[in-house]
Amino acid sequence: MSKEVRIEKDSMGTMEVPVNAYYGAQTQRAFLNFPISRHKMPKMMIHALGEIKRACAVVSGKHGWVDATIANAIVKAAEEVSEGKWDEQFVVDIYQTGSGTSSNMNTNEVIANRACEILGKAIGSKHVHPNDHVNYGQSSNDVFPTAMHLAILQDFQVKLLPALSSLQASLIKKAKAFDDIVKIGRTHLQDATPIRMGQVFSGFAYQIQQSIERIQYACTSLEELALGGTAVGTGINRPSSMTKEVIAEIASRMDLNVRETPNHFSAQGSKDAVVHASSSLKELATTLMKLANDIRFLSSGPRCGIGELILPETQPGSSIMPGKVNPVIAESLMMICAQVIGYDVTVSVCNQAGNFELNVMMPAMLYSVLESSHILQTGISNFEKRCVQGIEVDQKRCEELIELSMSMVTSLAPLIGYDKAAEIAKESHKTGKTVRELCIEKNVLPADQLKKVLDPRSMTEPNKE
């Protein structure tokens, strides 16, 4: 911003504002009042605010509630905001007034001054007024929560869900490719009965499918908008027919299935839908943490660990140990998951600040959910590209570990009894001999029957009746 200033005025008096700024006095006050963090309002939220202001101006101009010439200029200016042309003009910190009033006024002032410019009037002239015209029929208290829902919905549907669907497709592809490879299963971190590697990856893929469904379900709550409630949910100072038309305009422009909330008092006093959305991200984070950890452990070694999976080599793993390669892409995803879980705690605490008719910690909630969504979508895409797509299986290692496992004795239990099978398992552990070797020594079953019973592949499915 320029060091030269102009004088703008609001209800509290005059303020010096950078001469080339489109925002005005209220934004400048908020900029000075909240020198808190390095985080400004997320761009997707800014663009959502622009869409709301545009839709309100379209409807207000059509009905004559705002002069048609002024309304048309507001529509043009708001479209520029929604398209990202003026992102740098949004200077207020995330940790601001809890209702988001500062960001709503930042939007109103930028659009008002740009509309003045479009009409050939001086910036700061108030020919287009930020409150009387741009904010007509609205309040920060219904605009900001509406923009929250729009921003999160769009982020989920345009970015996060496609990233998840792509990861799921890659996991399904691996499940099919690995379906004939039998490995040892593990429960309680101990050897269990055989399982196919394809079955393992099918489990991963289905977990992602369920995460997708939970996020989609959370979106249905976000589709209810607070717009129309104005100050406390009663709709004071807005025409009764305004909200329905404005939301229809927003739905058409943003291609979202949004609708007016049936209860504005709930929509403005609490942010339960945002908590639901955040919770779906936390659930996804726990799923991804399990997936990343399993892949790390299954690839551990490669010689002195489990070593069943072979991961793509992405970078040297050590500054002191030559030749070491680590599962760094999975580690990156795990840290993302930990951060998302932390953000969810923030959202939960913030929702408790719904005091009477308004929640007063909305900006922090918004930032937490959008940042969670962003790092998840980028982390998921990176994990898929640099890890999952290149995963291979060491089939020889899988076969060796199966044969060494004492759990192979499980398939014998229905034929020789649990106690006798347990004795063989304990002797296998004590002597180091395999279950197969002991069964042959003891002539537990005829050779052909033993071969059939101890076939690892047959143990990966229910018994044939």
Contact in structure between 119 and 70 (CB atoms under 8 Å): yes
Q: In this predicted structure, what is the pLDDT of residue 3?
A: 80
Residue 335, CA distances (Å) to 286, 301, 324, 328, 339 in order: 11, 22, 21, 11, 6
Task: Indicate if 191 and 282 belong to the same structural domain.
Answer: yes
Which entry of 37, 241, 252, 318 is annotated as an active-site residue? 318
Q: Which domain covers residue 422, as residue numbers?
A: 405-460
Is residue 170 part of the annotated active site? The answer reads: no
Is residue 202 part of the annotated active site? The answer reads: no
Instruction: Please say which residue of 115, 136, 157 terminates a domain.
Output: 136
**Cα(235)–Cα(138) distance, integer angstroms:** 9
Instruction: Classify residue 333: in a domain, yes or no.
Output: yes
Task: Indicate if 121 and 167 belong to the same structural domain.
Answer: no
Instruction: Classify residue 465: in a domain, yes or no.
Output: no
**Cα(300)–Cα(295) distance, integer angstroms:** 8
Task: Indicate if 203 and 131 belong to the same structural domain.
Answer: no
Instruction: Classify residue 142: in a domain, yes or no.
Output: no
The CATH number assigned to the domain holding 186 equals 1.20.200.10
Instruction: Please say which residue of 103, 136, 169 terminates a domain.
Output: 136
Task: Indicate if 277 and 165 belong to the same structural domain.
Answer: yes
Instruction: Classify residue 312: in a domain, yes or no.
Output: yes
The CATH number assigned to the domain holding 25 equals 1.10.275.10
Instruction: Classify residue 245: in a domain, yes or no.
Output: no
Which entry of 188, 276, 319, 458 is annotated as an active-site residue? 188
Number of domains in the chain: 3
For 157-166, what is each residue's pLDDT tens digit? 999 999 999 9
Question: Is the pTM value of this prediction over 0.85?
Answer: yes
Instruction: Please say which residue of 136, 157, 192 terminates a domain.
Output: 136
Q: In this predicted structure, what is the pLDDT of residue 302?
A: 87
Task: Indicate if 288 and 376 belong to the same structural domain.
Answer: yes
Beta strand 392-393 with 309-310 is antiparallel
Instruction: Classify residue 248: in a domain, yes or no.
Output: no
Q: In this predicted structure, what is the pLDDT of residue 2?
A: 64
Instruction: Classify residue 241: in a domain, yes or no.
Output: no
The CATH number assigned to the domain holding 418 equals 1.10.40.30
Contact in structure between 115 and 73 (CB atoms under 8 Å): yes
Instruction: Spell out the SS3 assignment of 75-109.
Output: HHHHHHHHCCCCHHHCCCECCCCCCCHHHHHHHHH
For 56-80, what is each residue's pLDDT tens digit? 999 999 999 999 999 999 999 999 9
Task: Indicate if 190 and 79 belong to the same structural domain.
Answer: no
Task: Indicate if 351 and 370 belong to the same structural domain.
Answer: yes
Task: Indicate if 308 and 211 belong to the same structural domain.
Answer: yes
Task: Indicate if 270 and 341 belong to the same structural domain.
Answer: yes
Q: How far is CA 285 from the centre of its chain?
A: 9
The stretches in the chain having pLDDT less than 70 are 1-2, 465
Backbone angles phi, psi at 17, to 5 degrees: -125, 140
Task: Indicate if 409 and 390 belong to the same structural domain.
Answer: no
Instruction: Classify residue 244: in a domain, yes or no.
Output: no
Task: Indicate if 281 and 380 belong to the same structural domain.
Answer: yes
Q: In this predicted structure, what is the pLDDT of residue 464?
A: 82
Contact in structure between 362 and 99 (CB atoms under 8 Å): yes
Q: In this predicted structure, what is the pLDDT of residue 267?
A: 98
Task: Indicate if 320 and 342 belong to the same structural domain.
Answer: yes
